[in-house]
Amino acid sequence: DAMVIQNPRYQVTQFGKPVTLSCSQTLNHNVMYWYQQKSSQAPKLLFHYYDKDFNNEADTPDNFQSRRPNTSFCFLDIRSPGLGDAAMYLCATSSTSGSDNEQFFGPGTRLTVL
Amino acid sequence: GEDVEQSLFLSVREGDSSVINCTYTDSSSTYLYWYKQEPGAGLQLLTYIFSNMDMKQDQRLTVLLNKKDKHLSLRIADTQTGDSAIYFCAEIASASKIIFGSGTRLSIRP
């Protein structure tokens, strides 16, 4: 009964080789988020989708893109990964119809860049 | 801009109480949260408090909010080994966005 699923859990890519991380949800939430989390740091919001509306954070590098083809799925594309992009990537969802704005997180994908 | 600060580490003895502290900057935050992250996992909401409350208790967890000082704390009574994790304080920044602190790593010693 997993609610926010991320695949793969571990991803290894080469410097400069495009990579896509995927997230799916069974909660029918209208908001989906992508966070980058480096060791011993807070999750850093990269962008989020409010329904179909894409909201990019001002300091998210152009190297990071996202797609949300439908309510259930959201993808994170890293066009040319650098060594500094190695991190845990967390997907989360929330519903704006809820009263407490709780975010539900997936288990994360740990990205290694060689 | 919004900022949330926490101490990085806390070590307590099993059975003692743990108190994790947090300060935030946005006085207009309506909700403040505590999330827990276990090794290799995503974050999970532990509890939250609405800004018009001073205290919230949920089993072993007690949240205290001091709005004047913009200070939030999480007390875990009778700390167990399963409580070992990183605890993130967070404040709501907009209807669909929250800001996390850097997390406090709680370790339990026998």
Average pLDDT, integer, range A26-44: 92
Q: In chain B, which among 49-108 make CB contacts under 8 A with chain A?
A: 88, 92, 95-98, 100-103, 105
User: How confident is the model over B20-31, as pLDDT tens digits?
Assistant: 999 998 777 788
Record: contact A42-B41, CB cut-off 8 A: no
Residue A21 bridge partners (DSSP): A76
SS3 content of chain B, % helix, strand, coil (to 5): 5, 60, 35
Nearest-by-Cβ selection for A94 from B88, B96, B103:
B96
pLDDT digits (tens, 9 = 90+) for A37-79: 998 788 999 999 999 999 999 999 999 999 999 999 999 999 9
Instruction: Pick the residue from chain A with its C-alpha nearest to B87.
Output: A42
pLDDT of B107 reads: 96
Which of B9, B12, B4 minimizes the C-alpha distance to B72? B4
Helix (H/G/I), strand (E/B), else coil: A84: helix
CB contact under 8 A, B31 and A101: yes
Q: Taking CB atoms and an 8 Å cutoff, what residues of chain B touch A4? A: 42
Amino acid at the residue A95: S
Residue B60: its H or E element: none
Per-residue confidence band for A91, with pLDDT thresholds at 50, 70 and 90: very high
Please state, in angstroms and rounded to a whole number, the distance separating the CA atoms of residues B15 and B95. 38
pLDDT at B1 over 60: no
Can you tell me whether residue A91 is helix, strand or coil? Answer: strand
> B80 and B16 in contact (C-beta within 8 Å)?
no
